[in-house]
Amino acid sequence: MSSNIIAIVGRPNVGKSTLFNRLIGQRKAIMDNVSGVTRDRSYGHGDWTGKYYTVIDTGGYVHGSEDIFESEINRQVELAMNEADVILFMVDVDAGLTGLDEEFANVLRRTDKPVYVVANKADTNARMHQMGEFYALGVGIDIYPISSQSGSGTGELLDEVVKHFKDEGVEDPDAGIPKIAVLGRPNVGKSSFVNLLLGEERNIVTDRAGTTRDAIHARYNAFGKEFIIVDTAGLRRKSKVSEDIEFYSVLRSVRALEDADVCIVILDATRGIEAQDVNIIALAEKNRKGIVILVNKWDLVEKDTHTTKQFEDEIYNRIAPISYVPIIFTSVVTKQRIHKAIEVAMEVYDNKTKKIPTSKLNDAMLPEIERYPPPAIKGKFVKIKYITQLPTHNPTFAFFCNLPQYVKESYVRYLENRMREHFGFTGVPIKLVFRKK
Ligand code: GDP
Ligand code: GDP
């Protein structure tokens, strides 16, 4: 259960994202040097005096334009009121009190959560004294002058904020929950797929009732499975960057991929597998992510008894030598096999995290090695003595032998195939390493 949540609210340009980055200690900050680009993440973790917390920059969820509407203020504040333990209401001492600040204050008055007014851009003493005018807002326990840019004042603010946290919190509240990235070329059905999942139970499980579906990186519960869809709010972007949408969408996919445990790669059945699809799958394998391929828009394909097999052959042919990836034929429109897709993604996650006991590995693999031993090279015989799974993040198996440098690639493939037959690592890249013993 995630707890100790800080939400930052306020009108555009007061410095919310600057403070957000500071509070998460730049640990996961994504700095886009192009102005006007909405950050990919508006959700991060940090710690202060031994307490872990999660920060949400609610401004990252709504349009970043200057003409911010009442409905957006409501949504931002609602998100904060639902999810947060402490709300930071940010204003700008340089710009002074504005009508928008007052509108925010009016909505914030409804909450019984602790609210602090954060008077940002108090870079100098003179500016710091201008914060007095914000008492007129009539909200908040107190006003804290800070400079998000230099960091001054943020320590005092955090000292106050963490007093509201009942416990130490956890470093990574998402640990153990599968993180899924939904990837694919434009128009294959990614957002339809995600929306269908979210619509299924309309249940965002961010540990609190009534959370809105805007939350990025939120936990979802569909078909009885809990998981995180990485980077859905990344789909929102500021209008200014339309020229670079293609570039940013690729960049975003790569980041989502790196963040995920399992990549669901969606293809368009009416177009078949294309070069860019192969690239995404190769990148996922290189990063040792779990992979599931969906051939979507299956409703649009005329089928006979061979069609499925033909599609599968074509895909495996193009992604060779990768052969372990499950392929599912889906239609988001008719909802065909959507449940199956999630089920398989969860299986792939289980495969990626499972540990095979050493005794089982040796009982299965030593006879295989005896049946077909490594071929001798220059009169030297490789003897594999035992096998063990290493305590690594991704499935890695050490084969201890006398002459590790003499194990040939073709023999590694043989071993990998036998490993997959015995232990079924469907959808997951596995690595075999050879160590001297
Ligand atoms: P947001 O729209 O509320 O997320 O605001 P940003 O974090 O994008 O900041 C808006 C502008 O204010 C940027 O140009 C920041 O560099 C600037 N800014 C943020 N914090 C400070 C500060 O403490 N002092 C000054 N002088 N400028 C700041
Ligand atoms: P994205 O760009 O990958 O997010 O793709 P979208 O989800 O926006 O879908 C692109 C178009 O394909 C939309 O018009 C969808 O209605 C349509 N679409 C998505 N999935 C299917 C499907 O399974 N069958 C059919 N016939 N159309 C689909």
Q: Which residue has the higher pLDDT, 186 or 374?
A: 374
Q: CB count, 10 Å around CB of 108?
A: 22
Atom of ligand 1 minimally distant from the CA of 150: 23
**Is 283 inside any structural domain?**
yes
Q: Which of 304, 335, 353 is the last residue of a domain?
A: 353
User: Is 277 a domain residue?
Assistant: yes
Range 399-407 average pLDDT: 95
> Does residue 90 share a domain with residue 11?
yes
**pLDDT reported for residue 218:** 53
Residue 206 has pLDDT above 50, yes or no: no
Distance, CA 359 to ligand 2 centroid (Å)? 48
- We report the CATH number of the domain holding residue 385 as 3.30.300.20
Residue 170 lies in a domain: no
Arithmetic mean of pLDDT, 394-417: 95
pLDDT at 2: 53
Measured between its terminal Cα atoms, the distance across the chain in Å is 44
The residue behind tokens 């997951």 is 428
Q: If you average pLDDT over residues 160-175, what whole number do you get?
A: 85
- Token pair belonging to 225: 């499975």
- Work out the pLDDT band at 64, boundaries 50, 70, 90: very low
More confidently predicted of 237 and 43: 43
Residue 63 confidence (pLDDT) = 45
Indicate if 307 and 382 belong to the same structural domain: no
59 is in an annotated binding site: yes
Residues 231 and 347 in one domain: yes
Q: What is the pTM of this model?
A: 0.68
Instruction: Say if residue 358 carries a ligand binding annotation.
Output: no
- CATH number (domain holding residue 240): 3.40.50.300
Does residue 116 surpass a pLDDT of 50? yes
In a domain, 171, yes or no: no
- Taking the C-alpha atoms of residue 127 and residue 131, their distance in angstroms, rounded to an integer, is 7
Q: Is residue 173 part of a domain?
A: no
As a whole number of angstroms, the distance between CA 240 and CA 225 comes to: 37
* 174 falls within a domain: no
pLDDT digits (tens, 9 = 90+) for 248-280: 566 667 777 887 899 999 999 999 999 989 999
Q: Does 108 fall in a domain?
A: yes
ipTM comes to: 0.68
Q: Is 151 annotated as a binding residue?
A: no
Percent of the chain with pLDDT over 70: 81
CA dist 346 and 226 (Å) reads 9
Q: Mean of the per-residue pLDDT values for the chain?
A: 83
| 234 CB near ligand 2 (under 6 Å) | no
Query: Is the confidence at residue 424, as pLDDT, over 90?
Result: yes
Statement to judge: residues 187 and 124 lie in one domain: no
pLDDT of residue 344: 97
Residue nearest to atom 18 of ligand 2 (CA): 189
Q: What are 68-91's pLDDT values in tens digits?
A: 567 777 777 887 787 789 999 999
How big is the CA angle at 197 (ends 191 and 202), to the nearest 5 degrees? 115
Confidence band for 175, pLDDT divided at 50, 70 and 90: confident
Cα dist from 40 to 31, 155, 252, 309, 338, whole Å: 9, 26, 7, 39, 27
What pLDDT sits at residue 30? 40
> Domain range holding 269?
179-353
* Residue ranges around ligand 1 (CB below 6 Å): 10, 12-18, 59, 120-121, 123, 147-149
121 with 76, same domain: the answer is yes
Ligand 2 close to Cβ of residue 189 (< 6 A): yes
> What average pLDDT does this structure show over 411-434?
96
Q: How confident is the model at residue 14 (pLDDT cuts 50, 70, 90)?
A: very high
- Segment 330-344 shows an average pLDDT of 95
Residues 192 and 322 in one domain: yes
Answer yes or no: do 305 and 378 share one domain.
no
Number of domains comprising the chain: 3
Residue range 28-38, pLDDT digits in tens: 444 333 333 33
pLDDT grade for 208, boundaries at 50, 70 and 90: very low
Distances from the Cα of 38 to the Cαs of 13, 63, 400, in angstroms?
Answer: 12, 9, 50
Could you tell me if 303 and 402 lie in one domain?
no
pLDDT of residue 168: 86
Q: Which tokens go with 205?
A: 């499980």
The half-sphere exposure of 301 on its side-chain side, counting CA atoms within 13 A, is 21
Q: Domain end: 338, 353, 368, which one?
A: 353
Is there a single domain that holds both residue 149 and residue 60?
yes
Q: What are phi and psi of 306, to 5 degrees?
A: -100, -10
- Whether residues 310 and 372 share a domain: the answer is no
Cβ atoms within 10 Å, residue 218: 20
Looking at 353, 385, 407, the residue that finishes a domain is 353
Pocket test for ligand 2, best of 192, 246, 303 (most atoms within 8 A of CB): 192
Same domain, yes or no: 157 and 72:
yes
Whether residue 396 sits in one domain with residue 294:
no
Residue 126 has pLDDT above 60, yes or no: yes
Confidence (pLDDT) at 270 = 96
The pLDDT assigned to 236 comes to: 37
172 belongs to a structural domain: no
